[in-house]
C-alpha cells in the first residue's frame, strides 16, 4: 500500500519537476531552434508557400545582383540587400517561433507512447492473456490493464473502474475516475492506471491514436489553413501582383520622362508597398491560434475549428455538468396520500438497483441512510435507465412492474393524466420551483410519490452568460427536466432560452433549426447519444472522458472534460479573428506612410515638384529608402509577441470592435511609421553623409 502511494506521489511530482527544467531552458532552446528553422525556410520549397515573402526574397537576390553589377553604390546596395534579407528572416522567425512551441509539446507526448506493451485477452474474465507490443493491437481487441500499468491504446472501459493519471496528456497530475457503462468510460493510450483493474476495448487503429493526432497537430504538419486565412492570403497575393505591375511599369514611365530609375529603388518601393508585415505574420497567427487552444487543454482537429468558434452565435449547453455541477443527489422522498414513506423508498430502491447513473446510486444511498433495508429480489428483470425513455425500473417475479423516471414518462407508463392527480401536480411543482428535479415513482398503474433530486448552479456561470450576451451570443440550455425546473434553473443561471424534457434527437433538431436561420451553433457532449448533434454542430466540443463515438463526432476535444470550456473556446476563436483583423489593418495602414517616404525619393531629383510629397522632410533619397526599409523590417519582430499572444479580447459588438480596431490599429498604423521613419532618418543621415 505504501509502495503504491509513493508511486502516485512520484508520478504527480514528475510533471512539476519537468516543467521547472523546461521553463529554465525553453527560452534558449526555442530561440535557437527557431533561428535555425528561419534559415531553413529560406530554401525555395519553403519560401514559395508564402507568396508575399517569396517576392521579398526574390527582391533581395535582385538587389544583390544589381549591386554586384554596379547599378548602385556598393555600400547602399549592400545595406538594402541586407535589410531585405533580414525582413525575410524575421518573417520566417515569426513562423518558426510558433512552430517551436508545438514541437516542445510534441516531444513530451512522444515520451508518453514509447515502448508500450499490452496484455491482450479473449474476454473480460480471462486472467492470463498474451503480452504483445502495443503496435500490434487492432480495433476491438480486448486488453487488461492493472494498477501501476500504462494504458497501451485508446479505447473504452467495458468492465471495471479505475483512477487514472492523465498528466502525460493533459498536464494535470490529479487522478481522474473512469468507469464502464457511463459517459466517462473513454481512456487514452499512454496514461497510467493507479488503482484497480479494467478491461478496455481498443477503439483506434495504429497510427491514428489520440496521441498521434495530437503530435501531428502541435507540430503543425496537419495544420489546415482556415477559410479566412485562405481568403486573406488570396487578397494579399492579388495586392502584391497589382503592386508588381505598378512598379514594373515605372521604368517605362520614367523612360518617357527621360528618367532612369535604379532597379534597387524599384525593389525597395515594391517591398514597402506590398503587405509584408501581415504577409510575414499570417502563418504565425494561424499556428498561435492552435497553440492557444492547446494551452487551454483543447485539441482542435483543424485551425478551421478554432476560427469558426469565433463566429459562433448560438451555444447549446447541457444543464448537468455545464450549468450545474452535475452531482444531482436524492435529497427527499415525498409519498402521495395512502402511501407510506417506507413503501415509496422500497419502490425507489428497487427501480434504482440497475440504474448506473449517479442519481440512481444516490436514491439507494439516501434510502439506506433513512433506515431502509435493501434486498436484491430473486428472478427479477431490471430495466436500465435510458436517455430516450427517461425511465428505469424492475419487473418482479410476481408480475408487478415498478418504474422511476420523469413525470411525463411515468404518466405514460401508468396510463394516467396529471389533471386527475392534483396532489402529484402540487408535489412536482413544489420540487421544481426550488430548481430541483422531481422523479416520479409508480407501481403498475399506481403513482406512489416523488423523489427530489437537488443540484447546484456553478459559481460565476451567470456572469459568463452575461459576457456571452455582450458578444451577441445566444445561450440555450438543454435538459431532461420538466419545464418548471428548467425555467427555474434557466432564470437563475441567466440563459437566453431552454429546452425542457429534451431527448437526444431534440438537440439535433434544435441545432438544425438554428442553422436554418443562418446561425453558427456550438455544443458540448460526451455520450454516444450526443454524437449526431456533435457532428451536426458547427463546433462540437467532445469531452476527453467521453465515449469514442463522441470524440470522433466532435471537431474539438477538451482534455479537462470540463463542459464550461466551450465558453473559453469561443473566446479563443474570437481572439484569433480579432488578432488577424487588427494586424492586417495595421499592416495596410503602414503602407500609406511608407508611400510618402519612398515615392518622393524616387523622382525628386528629376522632378523637383515631387518634393511636395516629402512631408517628413527626410534627409536624402538614400536615407528615405533605408529608413523605410529598416522600419519595414523591424516592425515584424516587434509584432511577433502580439501575433503569438493575440490581441486582448473584450466583449463588445461588431461595430464597437471595428471602431476600436480602426482607431488603434488603423490610425495608429498610419501615424507610427511617420514618427519611426523620421527618427531612423535622423539617426542614419549623418552616417550616410560620411
Can you give the pLDDT at residue 25? 35
**pLDDT exceeds cutoff 80 at 160:** yes
Over 372-440, what HEC string results?
Answer: CCCCCCCCCEEEEEECCCCEEEEECCCCCEEEEECHHHHHHHCCCCHHHCHHHHHHHHHHHHCCCEEEE
Q: Which residues have C-beta within 8 Å of that of residue 81, sequence separation ≥ 6?
A: 60, 63, 64, 67
- At 539, is the secondary structure helix, strand, or coil? strand
- Which residues fall within 8 angstroms of residue 51, CB to CB, at 6 or more apart? 233, 236, 237, 240, 279
What does the pLDDT average to over 296-318? 83
* Predicted pLDDT of residue 14: 37
User: Which residues 6+ apart lie within 8 Å of 588 measured at CB?
Assistant: 275, 278, 669
Write the pLDDT tens digit of every residue in 621-648. 788 888 889 999 999 989 988 888 888 8
For 550-588, the DSSP string reads HHHHSSEEETT--TTHHHHHHHHHHHHHHHHHHHHHHHH
What nine digits make up the cell of 451? 423523489
* Grid cell digits, residue 14: 514528475
pLDDT at residue 402, rounded to an integer: 92
Q: CA torsion, points 494, 497, 503, 508, in degrees to nearest 10?
A: -120
Quote the CA–CA distance of 177 and 195 in Å, as a whole number.
10
What's the pLDDT score for residue 452? 92
- Please report which confidence band the pLDDT of residue 5 belongs to, taking 50, 70 and 90 as the band edges: very low
pLDDT in tens, 665-688: 989 998 999 899 989 989 988 887
Confidence of residue 11 (pLDDT cuts 50, 70, 90): very low
Q: Starting at the edge strand that comes first in sequence, how are the strands of the sheet with 176-179 ordered? A: 176-179, 161-165, 192-193
pLDDT tops 70 at residue 12: no
User: pLDDT tens digit string along 330-357?
Assistant: 889 999 998 999 999 999 999 888 777 7
pLDDT score of 1: 37
What are the CB-based long-range contacts (under 8 Å, 24+) for 504-513? 504/387, 504/388, 504/529, 504/530, 504/532, 504/533, 505/532, 506/478, 507/316, 507/478, 507/533, 508/532, 508/533, 508/536, 510/316, 510/476, 510/478, 511/316, 511/536, 511/537, 512/536
Q: 400 pLDDT exceeds 80?
A: yes
Other Cβ atoms closer than 10 A to 378: 7
Query: Which one, of 449, 442, 451, 507, lies nearest residue 478 by Cα?
Result: 507
Does the CA dihedral 415-418-419-420 come out positive or negative? Answer: positive
The predicted-structure confidence for 363-380, as pLDDT tens digits, reads as follows 998 998 998 887 778 888
485-488 contacts, C-beta under 8 A, 24 or more apart: 485/431, 485/432, 485/435, 485/436, 485/437, 485/438, 486/319, 488/432, 488/433, 488/434, 488/435
pLDDT level of residue 63 (50, 70, 90 thresholds)? very high
Report the SS3 class of residue 48: coil
Number of other CB atoms surrounding residue 624 within 10 Å: 28
pLDDT, position 512: 92
- Please tell me which residue, 156 or 566, carries the higher pLDDT value: 156
Q: What is the C-alpha separation between 215 and 190, in angstroms, rounded?
A: 13
Most confident of 33-37, 476-480, 668-672: 668-672
Q: Give the DSSP H or E segment for 623.
A: helix 621-645
Q: Confidence band (pLDDT; 50, 70, 90) for 218? A: low
DSSP string, 437-451: EEEEEEETTEEEEEE
pLDDT at site 103: 65
Mean pLDDT of 582-602: 82
**Which segment of 59-68, 145-154, 203-212, 346-355 scores lowest on mean pLDDT?**
203-212
Q: Which residue has the higher pLDDT, 684 or 222?
A: 684
Q: Is the pLDDT of residue 6 over 70?
A: no
Backbone angles phi, psi at 353, to 5 degrees: -60, -35
564, 522 Cβ separation under 8 angstroms: no
Cα–Cα distance, 586 to 7 (Å, whole number): 53
Over residues 79-92, the mean pLDDT reads 92
Average pLDDT over residues 588-595: 84
Q: Of 56-70, 174-188, 268-282, 657-671, which has the strongest mean pLDDT?
A: 56-70
Q: How far is it, in rounded angstroms, from Cα 392 to Cα 361?
A: 12
When mean pLDDT is compared across 75-79, 492-496, 684-688, the lowest value belongs to: 684-688
pLDDT of res. 620 = 80
pLDDT score, position 16: 39
Query: What is the average per-residue pLDDT within 544-566?
Result: 80
If you average pLDDT over residues 57-74, what whole number do you get?
90
Which residues have a Cβ under 8 Å from the Cβ of 3 and sit 6 or more positions away? none
pTM of the model: 0.67
Pairing verdict, β 437-443 and 401-405: antiparallel
- As a whole-number percent, the residues of the chain with pLDDT over 90 amount to 17
Q: Is the pLDDT of residue 32 over 80?
A: no
**Nearest by Cα to 575 from 309, 217, 299:** 309
b/e 33-49 (16+ beta carbons within 10 angstroms → b)? bbbebbeebeeeeebee
pLDDT the model gives residue 255:
79
Per-residue pLDDT at 27 exceeds 50:
no
pLDDT-derived band at 511 (thresholds 50, 70, 90) equals very high
Model confidence at 34: pLDDT above 90: no
Beta-ladder partners of 477: 317, 498
Hey, which residues are catalytic here? 318
Average pLDDT, the chain: 82
From first CA to last CA, the distance across the chain in angstroms is 81
Q: Rg of the chain's alpha carbons, rounded to an integer?
A: 33
Instruction: Answer for the pair 362, 330: CB distance below 8 angstroms, yes or no.
Output: yes
* Cα–Cα distance, 433 to 454 (Å, whole number): 12
Task: Kindly give, in sequence order, each residue whose CB lies less than 8 Å from that of residue 8, ignoring residues fewer than 6 positions away.
Answer: 165, 175, 194
Predicted local distance difference test score (pLDDT) of residue 105 = 59
| Side-by-side strand order, sheet with 521-525 | 298-300, 556-558, 539-543, 521-525, 314-318, 474-478, 497-499
The percentage of residues in the chain with a pLDDT greater than 70, rounded to a whole number, is 88
Amino acid at each position: 500500500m505504501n509502495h503504491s502511494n509513493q508511486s502516485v506521489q512520484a508520478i504527480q511530482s514528475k510533471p512539476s519537476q519537468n516543467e521547472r527544467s523546461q521553463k529554465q531552458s525553453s527560452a534558449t532552446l526555442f530561440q535557437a531552434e527557431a533561428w535555425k528553422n528561419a534559415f531553413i525556410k529560406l530554401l525555395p520549397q519553403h519560401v514559395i508557400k508564402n507568396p508575399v515573402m517569396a517576392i521579398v526574397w526574390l527582391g533581395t537576390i535582385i538587389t544583390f545582383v544589381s549591386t554586384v553589377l554596379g547599378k548602385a553604390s556598393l555600400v547602399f546596395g549592400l545595406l538594402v540587400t541586407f535589410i531585405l534579407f533580414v525582413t525575410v528572416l524575421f518573417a520566417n522567425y515569426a513562423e518558426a517561433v510558433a512552430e517551436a512551441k508545438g514541437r516542445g509539446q510534441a516531444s513530451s507526448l512522444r515520451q508518453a507512447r514509447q515502448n508500450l506493451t499490452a496484455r491482450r485477452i479473449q474476454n473480460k474474465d480471462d486472467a492470463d492473456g498474451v503480452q504483445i507490443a502495443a503496435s500490434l493491437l487492432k480495433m476491438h481487441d480486448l486488453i487488461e490493464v492493472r494498477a501501476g500499468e500504462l494504458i497501451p491504446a485508446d479505447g473504452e472501459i467495458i468492465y471495471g473502474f479505475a483512477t487514472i493519471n492523465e498528466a502525460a496528456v493533459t498536464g494535470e497530475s490529479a487522478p481522474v475516475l473512469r468507469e464502464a457503462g457511463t459517459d466517462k468510460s473513454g481512456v487514452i493510450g499512454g496514461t497510467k492506471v493507479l488503482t484497480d483493474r479494467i478491461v478496455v476495448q481498443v477503439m483506434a487503429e495504429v497510427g491514428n491514436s489520440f496521441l498521434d493526432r495530437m503530435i501531428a497537430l502541435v507540430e503543425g504538419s496537419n495544420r489546415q489553413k482556415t477559410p479566412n486565412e485562405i481568403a486573406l492570403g488570396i487578397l494579399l497575393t492579388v495586392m502584391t501582383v497589382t503592386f508588381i505591375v505598378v512598379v514594373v511599369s515605372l521604368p517605362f514611365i520614367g523612360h518617357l520622362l527621360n528618367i532612369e530609375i535604379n532597379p534597387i529603388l524599384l525593389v525597395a518601393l515594391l517591398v514597402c508597398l506590398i503587405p509584408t508585415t501581415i504577409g510575414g505574420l499570417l502563418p504565425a497567427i494561424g499556428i498561435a491560434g492552435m497553440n492557444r487552444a492547446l494551452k487551454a487543454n483543447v485539441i482542435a482537429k483543424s485551425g478551421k475549428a478554432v476560427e469558426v468558434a469565433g463566429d459562433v452565435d448560438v451555444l447549446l449547453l447541457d444543464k448537468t455538468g455545464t450549468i450545474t455541477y452535475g452531482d444531482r443527489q436524492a435529497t427527499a422522498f415525498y409519498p402521495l396520500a395512502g402511501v407510506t414513506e417506507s413503501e415509496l423508498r422500497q419502490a425507489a430502491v428497487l427501480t434504482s438497483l440497475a440504474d448506473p447513473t449517479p442519481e440512481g446510486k444516490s436514491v439507494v444511498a439516501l434510502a439506506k441512510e433513512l433506515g431502509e433495508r435493501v434486498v436484491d429480489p430473486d428472478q427479477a428483470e431490471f430495466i436500465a435507465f435510458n436517455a430516450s425513455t427517461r425511465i428505469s425500473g424492475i419487473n418482479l417475479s410476481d408480475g408487478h412492474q415498478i418504474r422511476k423516471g420523469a413525470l411525463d414518462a411515468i404518466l405514460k407508463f401508468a396510463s394516467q393524466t396529471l389533471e386527475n392527480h392534483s396532489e402529484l401536480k402540487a408535489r412536482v411543482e413544489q420540487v421544481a420551483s426550488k430548481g430541483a428535479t422531481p422523479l416520479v415513482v409508480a407501481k403498475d398503474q399506481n403513482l406512489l410519490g416523488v423523489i427530489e433530486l437537488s443540484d447546484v448552479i456553478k459559481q460565476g456561470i451567470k456572469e459568463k452568460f452575461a459576457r456571452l450576451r455582450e458578444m451577441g451570443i445566444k445561450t440555450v440550455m438543454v435538459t431532461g427536466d420538466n419545464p418548471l425546473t428548467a425555467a427555474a434553473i434557466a432564470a437563475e443561471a441567466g440563459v437566453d432560452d431552454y429546452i425542457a424534457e429534451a431527448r437526444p434527437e431534440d438537440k439535433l433538431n434544435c441545432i438544425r433549426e438554428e442553422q436554418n436561420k443562418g446561425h453558427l451553433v456550438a455544443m458540448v457532449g460526451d455520450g454516444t447519444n450526443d454524437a449526431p448533434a456533435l457532428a451536426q454542430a458547427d463546433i462540437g466540443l467532445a469531452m476527453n472522458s467521453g465515449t469514442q463515438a463522441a470524440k470522433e463526432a466532435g471537431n474539438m476535444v477538451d482534455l479537462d472534460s470540463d463542459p464550461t470550456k466551450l465558453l473559453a473556446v469561443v473566446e479563443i476563436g474570437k481572439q484569433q479573428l480579432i488578432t488577424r483583423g487588427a494586424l492586417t489593418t495595421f499592416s495596410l495602414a503602414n503602407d500609406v506612410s511608407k508611400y510618402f517616404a519612398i515615392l518622393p525619393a524616387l523622382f525628386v531629383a528629376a522632378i523637383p515638384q515631387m518634393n511636395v510629397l516629402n512631408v517628413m522632410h527626410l534627409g536624402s533619397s538614400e536615407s528615405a529608402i533605408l529608413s523605410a526599409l529598416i522600419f519595414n523590417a523591424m516592425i515584424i519582430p516587434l509584432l511577433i509577441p502580439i501575433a503569438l499572444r493575440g490581441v486582448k479580447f473584450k466583449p463588445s459588438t461588431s461595430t464597437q470592435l471595428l471602431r476600436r480596431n480602426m482607431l488603434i490599429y488603423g490610425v495608429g498604423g498610419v501615424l507610427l511609421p511617420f514618427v519611426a521613419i523620421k527618427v531612423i532618418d535622423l539617426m542614419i543621415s549623418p552616417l550616410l553623409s560620411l
